[in-house]
């Protein structure tokens, strides 16, 4: 049990490092993939809603606190929702076909970025359409690609 | 009743936790500007600061690479500048020398710059930047501060071709300054010229200066040509050969004078 916790904390730490170090080279026109969100989605799918939202909340809080996110609590909020939603896939992945699975995760990712960007840009003069097309959709697709790659690699291991 | 509430909570604990976390997030979000939250954020940021070290380290490395590239560029620029300055310094020295030479000579001379060395294989020549416009014509003597260089063989409007001493067909009437012996100098090989058919009875010594004889319409009398480095007997034993090193450095010459009138 303790070993599992240690492994999971190690994974969290590695993903955090990856988010801090590598994202600067993967950023395209201000759009960056969210490795933490990928971790939250996978945690939710594998361990369920409770675990997913807990991981989402704490990882989001850490990322907000160390200044990589935006307002303190914003990533925590968005990732809690994402972790909770991803938990619905627990035990269902193999019953869904690939496209439905990908679409569900895409919608969760869009929901996450919608919460994040709409609150982040609240009060700015940017229109909702602009925020959606300029930030939410590109970030969602970018993160979905990373998620699908990681998910595929994990499936191969399983 | 209490047990039923506990059961309800246990059954739906995921939703309760979700609601709790969302409320907590929103509270944190709403109190972002509060001093305690800022303080906590600062402390957490401090605690996790070490996470940024690898990124800073990698960034620093890439900065060093870029800095190194810039320093190399700067180094090259400064080197080129230094070479230019050294070149200007050398040119300045040469020009001062030329100026002194021009003041002391009584000939009507025209200073010229060497534009290029000739590429014609049958003629060792240089191209100079004065021509007919400056009154330069064929068969005018060309000298340097050190000594005789050659003669003009053809001139254009602004440039002239000079046949140089080391051309195999160049002949120069010379006199050995001390022994007063006359002879015809021609190029031998390498850096040396020679005067052949000097009677063995005449004494010529290494180190003796060789000057123009004055028996020519091209070169005035007494121009320095070179010095004897060796005297060797010829095959017939009746005469000897004087090996002469010209004073003018024909390979590196950059400035010359054309004697228009003497």
Query: What is the pLDDT at residue A119?
Result: 87
3-state SS string over A134-146?
HHHHHHHHHHHHH
For A28, the token pair is 């395209």
Could you tell me the CATH number of the domain that includes residue B199? 2.40.10.350
Residue B237 and residue B208 share a domain: yes
Task: Please state the domain count of chain B.
Answer: 2
B232 found inside a domain:
yes
CB–CB of A66 and B37 under 8 A? no
Give the pLDDT of residue A42: 92
Query: What are the structural domain ranges in chain A?
Result: 2-154
Is B36 a domain residue?
Answer: no
Q: Return the residue matching tokens 């003597």.
A: B141
Which residues of chain A does B45 touch, with a Cβ-Cβ cutoff of 8 Å?
65-67
Among partner residues B27, B40, B58, which is closest to A21 by beta-carbon distance?
B58
CB of B250 within 8 A of CB of B165? yes
Domain end call among B97, B130, B164: B164
Asked if the structure places residue B235 within a domain, the reply is yes
Mutate: best of B11, B17, B18, partner A, most A CBs <10 A:
B18
Q: Given CB atoms, is B25 within the 8 Å cutoff of chain A?
A: yes
B161 in Cβ contact with B152 (< 8 Å): yes
Q: Does B18 touch chain A (CB under 8 A)?
A: yes
**How many angstroms separate the CA of residue A153 from the nearest CA in chain B?**
26
Return the pLDDT at B225.
92
Residues of chain B with pLDDT under 50: none
Query: What is the residue whose two structure tokens read 């091209």?
Result: B218
pLDDT above 90 for A37: yes
Q: Which domain holds residue B195?
A: 172-248
Q: Write down which residue in B145, B164, B183 finishes a domain.
A: B164
CB contact under 8 A, A16 and B41: no
- pLDDT the model gives residue A96: 72
Query: B180 and B205, same structural domain?
Result: yes
Q: What local confidence, expressed as pLDDT, does residue B11 receive? A: 82
- Residue A109 and residue A142 in contact, taking contact as beta carbons nearer than 8 Å: no
ipTM: 0.86
Asked if B118 and B156 sit in the same domain, the reply is yes
Q: Are residues B179 and B160 in the same domain?
A: no
pLDDT at residue number B169: 80
In a domain, B65, yes or no: no
Q: Is residue B144 part of a domain?
A: yes
Q: Report yes or no on B55 lying in a domain.
A: no
The reply to whether B201 falls in a domain is yes
What is the pLDDT confidence band of residue A67, given thresholds at 50, 70 and 90? low
B24/A66 Cβ within 8 A? no
Per-residue pLDDT band for A54 (boundaries 50, 70, 90) equals: very high
CATH fold of A2-154 reads Arp2/3 complex 21 kDa subunit ARPC3 (1.10.1760)
Q: Name the pLDDT band for A123 (thresholds 50, 70, 90).
A: confident
Secondary structure (DSSP) of B141-208: EEE-SSSEEEEEEEE-SS-EEEEETTSTT-EEEEEETTT--EEEEEEEETTEEEEEEEETTS---TT-
Chain-chain contact of A20 with B51 (C-beta, under 8 angstroms): yes
Strand partners for B239 = B199
Looking at every residue in chain A, the average pLDDT score rounds to 86
**DSSP calls for B101-156:** HHHH--SEEEEEEEEEE---TT--EEEES--GGGT--TT-EEE-SSSEEEEEEEE-
Q: How far apart are the first and last CA of chain A?
A: 20
Question: Residue A156: pLDDT above 70?
Answer: no
Same domain flag for B160 and B181: no
Residue B239 lies in a domain: yes
Given B140, B164, B188, the domain boundary residue is B164
Q: Does A74 sit within 8 Å of B51, measured CB to CB?
A: no
Is it the case that residue A153 has pLDDT exceeding 80? Answer: yes
């Amino acid at each position: 049990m303790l070993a599992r916790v240690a492994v999971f904390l190690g994974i969290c730490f590695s993903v955090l490092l990856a988010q801090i170090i590598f994202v600067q080279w993967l950023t395209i026109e201000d759009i960056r993939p969210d490795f933490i969100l990928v971790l939250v989605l996978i945690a939710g799918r594998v361990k369920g809603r409770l675990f997913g939202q807990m991981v989402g909340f704490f990882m989001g809080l850490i990322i907000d606190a160390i200044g990589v996110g935006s307002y303190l609590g914003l990533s925590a909020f968005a990732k809690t929702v994402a972790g909770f939603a991803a938990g619905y896939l627990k035990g269902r992945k193999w019953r869904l076909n690939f496209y439905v699975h990908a679409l569900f995760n895409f919608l969760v990712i869009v929901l996450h970025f919608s919460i994040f960007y709409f609150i982040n840009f609240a009060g700015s003069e940017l229109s909702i359409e602009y925020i959606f097309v300029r930030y939410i959709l590109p970030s969602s697709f970018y993160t979905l690609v990373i998620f699908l790659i990681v998910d595929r690699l994990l499936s191969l291991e399983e | 009743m209490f047990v039923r509430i506990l059961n309800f909570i246990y059954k739906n604990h995921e939703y309760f936790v979700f609601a709790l976390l969302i409320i907590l997030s929103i509270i944190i979000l709403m109190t972002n500007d509060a001093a305690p939250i800022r303080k906590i954020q600062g402390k957490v940021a401090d605690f996790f600061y070490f996470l940024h070290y690898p990124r800073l380290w990698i960034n620093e490395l890439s900065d060093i690479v870029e800095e190194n590239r810039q320093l190399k560029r700067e180094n090259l620029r400064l080197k080129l500048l230094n070479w230019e300055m050294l070149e200007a310094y050398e040119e300045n020295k040469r020009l001062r020398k030329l100026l002194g030479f021009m003041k002391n000579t009584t000939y009507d001379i025209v200073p010229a710059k060497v534009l290029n060395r000739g590429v014609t294989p049958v003629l060792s020549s240089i191209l100079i930047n004065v021509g007919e416009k400056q009154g330069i014509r064929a068969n005018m003597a060309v000298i340097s501060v050190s000594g005789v260089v050659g003669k003009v063989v053809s001139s254009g409007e602004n440039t002239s071709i000079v046949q140089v001493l080391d051309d195999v067909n160049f002949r120069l009437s010379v006199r050995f300054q001390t022994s007063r012996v006359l002879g015809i100098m021609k190029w031998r090989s390498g850096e040396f010229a020679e005067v052949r058919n000097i009677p063995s009875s005449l004494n010529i010594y290494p180190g003796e200066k060789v000057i123009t004889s004055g028996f020519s319409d091209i070169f005035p009398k007494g121009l320095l040509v070179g010095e004897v480095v060796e005297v060797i007997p010829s095959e017939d034993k009746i005469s000897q050969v004087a090996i002469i090193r010209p004073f003018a450095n024909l390979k590196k010459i950059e400035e010359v004078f054309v004697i228009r009138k003497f």
